[in-house]
Structure 1
Amino acid sequence: MSRIQAIKEFMVREFLPDVSAGELDADLDLLEAGVVDSLGLLKVIAWLEDVHHINTDEFDLDPEFFRSVAAIDEFIADASRQQAEAA
């Protein structure tokens, strides 16, 4: 399963139970659409830490990183690369 698909499935499971992962546009603005609120951002961050092993304490987190599935995917890629370079 691709990372984009995994993010979509997480979003659907946690925030959009009436939508299929295939229906969720990777560029949908999750914040503007009201899919994810401030408490939802905490869920997303916890998921990133648990599933993708990203130590979010090492990053200045900006809501823009979580605005869409595509933005989350980009954040995971960047954070993983930075953590690998630091190791």
Structure 2
Amino acid sequence: METESRVEQFVYLSFPPAVPGEEYSSTQSLIETGVMDSMGVLVMVTWLEEEFGIIVDDEDVIPENMDSIANLAGYVDRKLAEMSVAG
């Protein structure tokens, strides 16, 4: 849950809701709802790499990994687990 909290905090800071006080659902599509556009995805990828020390491969930049707070957190947790097994 810590990963999801960190991702959520970054989403709110970098892509604040259009309506103050509005909240994002952890499963809400950030792309389909217009919260993040293609530039936002690049900002997110850069932040994930810096914040968590992972490398986001080009083939990983897909909705299943990048489209919601929950998907982003799950992706990061999987990458961190892969690194701990490999490392």
State the TM-score, normalized to the length of structure 1: 0.84
Q: 1:86 to 1:60 in 2, by over 3 A?
A: farther
* Maintained 8 Å contact 2:3/2:77: no
Partner of 2:5: 5
> What is the Cα-based RMSD across aligned positions, in Å?
2.0
State how many pairs are aligned: 85
2:49 corresponds to 1:49: yes
Measured after TM superposition, the shift of residue 19 of structure 1 is 4.6
**Percent identity between the aligned chains?**
25
Aligned to 1:61: 60
Name structure 2 gaps, 5 residues minimum: none
Residue of structure 2 in register with 1:31 after alignment: 31
Runs of 4+ in 1 over 4 A off after TM superposition: 17-20
Aligned counterparts of 1:33 and 1:61: Cα–Cα separation in 2: 21
CA distance in 1, matches of 2:30, 2:20: 13
Name the TM-score, length of structure 2 as normaliser: 0.84
Higher relative contact order (CA 8 A, sep 6+): 2
Q: Secondary structure at the match of 1:56?
A: coil
Give CA-to-partner distance per residue, 1:22-68, whole Å, 9 cap, x none.
822101100100111111111101111111000224x6223211100
